[in-house]
Protein backbone atom coordinates (compact mmCIF):
# COMPACT_ATOMS: atom_id res chain seq x y z
CA UNK A 1 0.00 0.00 0.00
CA UNK A 2 1.31 3.46 -0.94
CA UNK A 3 2.19 5.36 2.31
CA UNK A 4 1.75 8.89 0.87
CA UNK A 5 -0.69 11.23 2.65
CA UNK A 6 -3.20 10.63 -0.16
CA UNK A 7 -2.94 8.11 -2.97
CA UNK A 8 -5.71 7.39 -5.48
CA UNK A 9 -5.44 4.38 -7.78
CA UNK A 10 -7.73 4.09 -10.82
CA UNK A 11 -10.60 5.68 -8.91
CA UNK A 12 -14.02 5.88 -10.57
CA UNK A 13 -17.30 7.15 -9.16
CA UNK A 14 -20.46 6.76 -11.19
CA UNK A 15 -23.92 8.08 -10.33
CA UNK A 16 -26.15 6.05 -12.63
CA UNK A 17 -24.99 6.98 -16.12
CA UNK A 18 -22.98 10.00 -14.91
CA UNK A 19 -19.28 9.30 -14.68
CA UNK A 20 -18.32 11.86 -12.02
CA UNK A 21 -14.80 10.38 -11.81
CA UNK A 22 -13.04 7.92 -14.11
CA UNK A 23 -9.65 6.20 -13.82
CA UNK A 24 -8.14 8.84 -11.51
CA UNK A 25 -4.64 8.05 -10.30
CA UNK A 26 -2.53 10.56 -8.36
CA UNK A 27 -0.48 11.06 -5.20
CA UNK A 28 -0.31 14.02 -2.84
CA UNK A 29 3.13 14.36 -1.22
CA UNK A 30 3.62 15.04 2.50
CA UNK A 31 3.16 18.69 3.48
CA UNK A 32 2.15 19.74 -0.03
CA UNK A 33 -0.58 22.28 -0.77
CA UNK A 34 -2.39 21.18 -3.90
CA UNK A 35 -4.80 23.32 -5.90
CA UNK A 36 -7.73 21.22 -7.19
CA UNK A 37 -9.10 22.90 -10.29
CA UNK A 38 -11.43 22.11 -13.14
CA UNK A 39 -14.60 23.39 -14.78
CA UNK A 40 -18.01 23.08 -13.10
CA UNK A 41 -18.99 19.45 -12.87
CA UNK A 42 -15.40 18.19 -13.33
CA UNK A 43 -15.68 16.00 -10.23
CA UNK A 44 -13.83 18.08 -7.60
CA UNK A 45 -16.43 17.82 -4.83
CA UNK A 46 -16.95 14.13 -5.55
CA UNK A 47 -13.21 13.51 -5.26
CA UNK A 48 -12.93 15.38 -1.96
CA UNK A 49 -15.83 13.43 -0.47
CA UNK A 50 -14.28 10.10 -1.55
CA UNK A 51 -10.93 11.01 0.07
CA UNK A 52 -12.75 12.03 3.26
CA UNK A 53 -14.55 8.69 3.25
CA UNK A 54 -18.04 10.18 2.93
CA UNK A 55 -18.72 8.04 -0.13
CA UNK A 56 -17.19 4.90 -1.68
CA UNK A 57 -15.63 4.75 -5.14
CA UNK A 58 -17.44 2.64 -7.72
CA UNK A 59 -14.04 1.08 -8.46
CA UNK A 60 -10.40 1.72 -7.61
CA UNK A 61 -9.00 2.62 -4.21
CA UNK A 62 -7.91 5.58 -2.09
CA UNK A 63 -5.47 5.42 0.80
CA UNK A 64 -4.53 8.00 3.43
CA UNK A 65 -1.08 7.50 4.95
CA UNK A 66 -1.15 3.89 3.84
CA UNK A 67 -4.60 3.05 5.23
CA UNK A 68 -7.40 2.27 2.80
CA UNK A 69 -10.35 4.69 2.94
CA UNK A 70 -13.48 2.57 3.09
CA UNK A 71 -16.45 4.88 2.97
CA UNK A 72 -16.35 6.35 6.49
CA UNK A 73 -14.67 9.50 7.80
CA UNK A 74 -10.96 8.86 8.17
CA UNK A 75 -9.63 10.11 11.56
CA UNK A 76 -6.62 11.80 9.93
CA UNK A 77 -8.74 13.78 7.48
CA UNK A 78 -10.73 16.98 7.95
CA UNK A 79 -13.06 18.14 5.18
CA UNK A 80 -14.54 21.59 5.01
CA UNK A 81 -17.47 21.44 2.59
CA UNK A 82 -19.15 24.37 0.84
CA UNK A 83 -21.97 24.10 3.41
CA UNK A 84 -20.04 25.18 6.50
CA UNK A 85 -21.04 22.85 9.35
CA UNK A 86 -21.93 25.48 11.97
CA UNK A 87 -24.86 25.91 14.37
CA UNK A 88 -26.40 29.35 13.83
CA UNK A 89 -27.49 29.90 17.45
CA UNK A 90 -24.16 28.97 19.03
CA UNK A 91 -21.47 31.49 19.91
CA UNK A 92 -18.02 30.84 18.45
CA UNK A 93 -16.85 29.64 21.87
CA UNK A 94 -19.82 27.22 22.13
CA UNK A 95 -19.12 26.01 18.61
CA UNK A 96 -15.59 25.09 19.67
CA UNK A 97 -16.96 23.21 22.70
CA UNK A 98 -19.28 21.34 20.33
CA UNK A 99 -16.23 20.48 18.21
CA UNK A 100 -14.55 19.03 21.30
CA UNK A 101 -17.67 16.99 22.15
CA UNK A 102 -18.09 15.61 18.62
CA UNK A 103 -14.50 14.54 18.00
CA UNK A 104 -12.57 11.82 19.82
CA UNK A 105 -9.31 13.48 18.90
CA UNK A 106 -9.54 17.20 19.60
CA UNK A 107 -7.10 19.92 20.59
CA UNK A 108 -8.84 22.88 22.21
CA UNK A 109 -5.53 24.74 22.29
CA UNK A 110 -5.05 24.24 18.53
CA UNK A 111 -8.56 25.50 17.75
CA UNK A 112 -8.00 28.49 20.08
CA UNK A 113 -4.61 29.25 18.53
CA UNK A 114 -6.25 29.36 15.14
CA UNK A 115 -9.03 31.64 16.33
CA UNK A 116 -6.47 33.94 17.99
CA UNK A 117 -4.82 34.42 14.61
CA UNK A 118 -8.11 35.91 13.39
CA UNK A 119 -8.36 39.46 14.63
CA UNK A 120 -11.86 39.88 13.22
CA UNK A 121 -13.61 36.97 15.00
CA UNK A 122 -15.36 37.75 18.32
CA UNK A 123 -15.51 34.48 20.27
CA UNK A 124 -18.67 35.58 22.08
CA UNK A 125 -20.56 36.45 18.90
CA UNK A 126 -23.33 34.13 17.68
CA UNK A 127 -22.47 32.30 14.48
CA UNK A 128 -25.54 33.73 12.71
CA UNK A 129 -24.16 37.29 13.16
CA UNK A 130 -20.80 36.51 11.55
CA UNK A 131 -19.74 37.55 8.06
CA UNK A 132 -19.14 34.86 5.43
CA UNK A 133 -15.39 35.27 5.93
CA UNK A 134 -15.58 34.87 9.71
CA UNK A 135 -17.81 31.78 9.34
CA UNK A 136 -15.31 30.19 6.99
CA UNK A 137 -12.50 30.92 9.41
CA UNK A 138 -14.42 29.44 12.36
CA UNK A 139 -15.18 26.36 10.25
CA UNK A 140 -11.49 26.00 9.40
CA UNK A 141 -10.54 26.39 13.08
CA UNK A 142 -13.01 23.56 13.82
CA UNK A 143 -11.52 21.43 11.07
CA UNK A 144 -8.00 22.03 12.44
CA UNK A 145 -9.03 21.28 16.03
CA UNK A 146 -9.26 17.62 14.93
CA UNK A 147 -5.48 17.74 14.31
CA UNK A 148 -5.83 16.38 10.78
CA UNK A 149 -2.88 15.13 8.76
CA UNK A 150 -4.83 15.85 5.59
CA UNK A 151 -7.00 18.96 5.23
CA UNK A 152 -9.54 19.04 2.38
CA UNK A 153 -11.12 22.39 1.54
CA UNK A 154 -13.96 22.62 -0.98
CA UNK A 155 -14.20 26.15 -2.41
CA UNK A 156 -13.45 27.85 0.93
CA UNK A 157 -12.75 31.22 -0.69
CA UNK A 158 -15.69 31.59 -3.07
CA UNK A 159 -17.81 34.13 -1.17
CA UNK A 160 -15.05 35.96 0.72
CA UNK A 161 -13.79 39.51 0.15
CA UNK A 162 -10.06 39.91 -0.65
CA UNK A 163 -9.08 40.61 2.97
CA UNK A 164 -10.95 37.58 4.31
CA UNK A 165 -9.47 35.45 1.49
CA UNK A 166 -5.99 36.57 2.45
CA UNK A 167 -6.56 35.86 6.17
CA UNK A 168 -8.07 32.46 5.43
CA UNK A 169 -5.15 31.46 3.24
CA UNK A 170 -2.70 32.66 5.91
CA UNK A 171 -4.48 30.42 8.41
CA UNK A 172 -4.03 27.45 6.11
CA UNK A 173 -0.37 28.31 5.48
CA UNK A 174 0.29 28.63 9.24
CA UNK A 175 -1.13 25.12 9.68
CA UNK A 176 1.09 23.73 6.94
CA UNK A 177 4.20 25.48 8.32
CA UNK A 178 3.59 24.39 11.92
CA UNK A 179 2.22 20.87 11.51
CA UNK A 180 3.23 19.85 8.00
CA UNK A 181 -0.41 19.13 7.15
CA UNK A 182 -1.11 18.05 3.57
CA UNK A 183 -3.75 20.29 2.00
CA UNK A 184 -6.02 19.78 -1.03
CA UNK A 185 -7.88 22.98 -1.84
CA UNK A 186 -10.47 23.32 -4.59
CA UNK A 187 -10.98 26.80 -5.98
CA UNK A 188 -11.84 28.71 -9.13
CA UNK A 189 -9.69 31.63 -7.91
CA UNK A 190 -6.46 30.97 -9.75
CA UNK A 191 -4.53 33.97 -8.44
CA UNK A 192 -5.13 32.90 -4.84
CA UNK A 193 -4.13 29.34 -5.66
CA UNK A 194 -0.89 30.55 -7.22
CA UNK A 195 0.00 32.30 -3.96
CA UNK A 196 -0.28 29.21 -1.74
CA UNK A 197 -0.14 26.02 -3.80
CA UNK A 198 3.00 24.11 -4.71
CA UNK A 199 1.11 21.28 -6.46
CA UNK A 200 -1.74 21.12 -8.94
CA UNK A 201 -4.45 18.54 -9.66
CA UNK A 202 -6.48 19.49 -12.72
CA UNK A 203 -9.65 17.51 -13.42
CA UNK A 204 -11.82 17.60 -16.50
CA UNK A 205 -14.90 15.45 -17.02
CA UNK A 206 -13.86 13.25 -14.13
CA UNK A 207 -10.36 12.56 -15.41
CA UNK A 208 -6.97 13.79 -14.21
CA UNK A 209 -5.52 16.04 -16.91
CA UNK A 210 -2.47 17.28 -15.01
CA UNK A 211 -1.06 16.34 -11.62
CA UNK A 212 2.19 17.19 -9.86
CA UNK A 213 4.61 19.88 -8.77
CA UNK A 214 3.55 23.24 -10.22
CA UNK A 215 7.08 24.36 -11.18
CA UNK A 216 7.67 21.08 -13.01
CA UNK A 217 4.30 21.30 -14.76
CA UNK A 218 4.91 24.89 -15.87
CA UNK A 219 8.41 23.92 -17.03
CA UNK A 220 6.89 21.15 -19.17
CA UNK A 221 4.51 23.55 -20.98
CA UNK A 222 5.17 26.36 -23.43
CA UNK A 223 3.09 29.17 -24.81
CA UNK A 224 3.97 29.33 -28.48
CA UNK A 225 3.23 32.31 -30.71
CA UNK A 226 3.74 32.44 -34.48
CA UNK A 227 2.43 33.96 -37.67
CA UNK A 228 -1.12 33.05 -38.71
CA UNK A 229 -1.44 30.37 -41.37
CA UNK A 230 1.83 28.59 -40.51
CA UNK A 231 1.39 24.99 -39.29
CA UNK A 232 2.78 24.34 -35.83
CA UNK A 233 4.86 21.19 -36.23
CA UNK A 234 5.64 19.87 -32.79
CA UNK A 235 6.12 16.45 -31.20
CA UNK A 236 4.53 17.86 -28.04
CA UNK A 237 0.79 17.86 -27.29
CA UNK A 238 -1.10 20.97 -28.39
CA UNK A 239 -3.44 21.46 -25.44
CA UNK A 240 -5.18 24.56 -26.77
CA UNK A 241 -4.74 26.97 -29.66
CA UNK A 242 -6.32 30.23 -30.77
CA UNK A 243 -6.00 32.27 -33.90
CA UNK A 244 -6.32 35.92 -34.91
CA UNK A 245 -5.89 37.40 -38.39
CA UNK A 246 -2.18 37.92 -37.62
CA UNK A 247 -1.06 35.20 -35.26
CA UNK A 248 -1.53 31.76 -33.77
CA UNK A 249 -1.07 31.18 -30.04
CA UNK A 250 -0.90 27.68 -28.57
CA UNK A 251 -0.32 25.98 -25.24
CA UNK A 252 1.97 23.01 -25.86
CA UNK A 253 2.88 20.24 -23.46
CA UNK A 254 6.32 18.64 -23.76
CA UNK A 255 8.18 18.16 -27.03
CA UNK A 256 10.04 20.75 -29.08
CA UNK A 257 8.88 23.65 -31.22
CA UNK A 258 10.50 24.63 -34.56
CA UNK A 259 12.48 27.88 -34.79
CA UNK A 260 10.51 30.90 -35.92
CA UNK A 261 7.97 30.51 -33.12
CA UNK A 262 8.25 32.61 -29.95
CA UNK A 263 8.09 30.50 -26.79
CA UNK A 264 7.63 31.28 -23.09
CA UNK A 265 6.61 29.17 -20.13
CA UNK A 266 3.06 29.90 -18.91
CA UNK A 267 2.21 31.06 -15.41
CA UNK A 268 -0.33 29.02 -13.44
CA UNK A 269 -3.27 31.11 -14.59
CA UNK A 270 -2.37 30.86 -18.29
CA UNK A 271 -1.83 27.09 -17.95
CA UNK A 272 -5.14 26.41 -16.23
CA UNK A 273 -7.03 28.75 -18.59
CA UNK A 274 -5.56 26.87 -21.56
CA UNK A 275 -6.84 23.54 -20.22
CA UNK A 276 -10.25 25.04 -19.35
CA UNK A 277 -10.63 26.54 -22.85
CA UNK A 278 -9.70 23.20 -24.41
CA UNK A 279 -12.27 21.47 -22.21
CA UNK A 280 -15.01 23.88 -23.27
CA UNK A 281 -14.11 23.43 -26.96
CA UNK A 282 -14.33 19.63 -26.64
CA UNK A 283 -17.77 19.91 -25.03
CA UNK A 284 -19.00 22.34 -27.73
CA UNK A 285 -17.66 20.03 -30.45
CA UNK A 286 -19.76 17.14 -29.08
CA UNK A 287 -23.01 19.16 -29.00
Ligand X SMILES: Nc1ncnc2c1ncn2[C@@H]1O[C@H](COP(=O)(O)OP(=O)(O)OP(=O)(O)O)[C@@H](O)[C@H]1O
Q: Does 69 bind ligand X (CB under 6 A)?
A: no
Nearer to ligand X, 16 or 260 (CB): 16
The region of 42-50, 88-96, 109-117, 219-227 touching ligand X under the rule CB under 6 A is: 42-50
Q: Does 156 bind ligand X (CB under 6 A)?
A: no
**Cβ 219 to ligand X shortest distance, Å:** 27
The region of 37-45, 66-74, 173-181, 213-221 touching ligand X under the rule CB under 6 A is: 37-45
**Cβ 185 to ligand X shortest distance, Å:** 13
| Size, binding site for ligand X by CB under 6 A | 11
Contact 105, 75 (CB under 8 A): yes
Q: Does 20 bind ligand X (CB under 6 A)?
A: yes
Among 41, 75, 194, 212, binds ligand X (CB under 6 A): 41
Contact 188, 37 (CB under 8 A): yes
Q: Does 57 bind ligand X (CB under 6 A)?
A: no
The region of 14-22, 92-100, 132-140, 267-275 touching ligand X under the rule CB under 6 A is: 14-22
Q: Interface residues for ligand X in 99-118 (CB under 6 A)?
A: none
The region of 36-44, 165-173, 248-256, 275-283 touching ligand X under the rule CB under 6 A is: 36-44
Q: How far apart are CA 146 and CA 78, in angstroms?
A: 7
Nearer to ligand X, 46 or 137 (CB): 46
Nearer to ligand X, 105 or 282 (CB): 282
Q: Does 259 bind ligand X (CB under 6 A)?
A: no
Classify each residue of 244-260 as buried b or exposed e, where b means 16 or more C-beta atoms within 10 Å of its C-beta. eeeebbbbbbeeebeee
Chain residues in the site for ligand X (CB under 6 A): 15, 18, 20, 38, 40-46
Amino acid sequence: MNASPVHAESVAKHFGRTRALDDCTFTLPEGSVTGLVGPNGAGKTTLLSLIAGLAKPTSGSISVHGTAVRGRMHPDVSLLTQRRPLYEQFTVREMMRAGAAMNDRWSASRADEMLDLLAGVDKDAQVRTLSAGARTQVAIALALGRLPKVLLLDEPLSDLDPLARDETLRLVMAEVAERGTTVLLSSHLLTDLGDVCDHLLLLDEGRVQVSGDIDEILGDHQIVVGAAGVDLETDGVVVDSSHTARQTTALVRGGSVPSGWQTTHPDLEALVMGYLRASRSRRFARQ
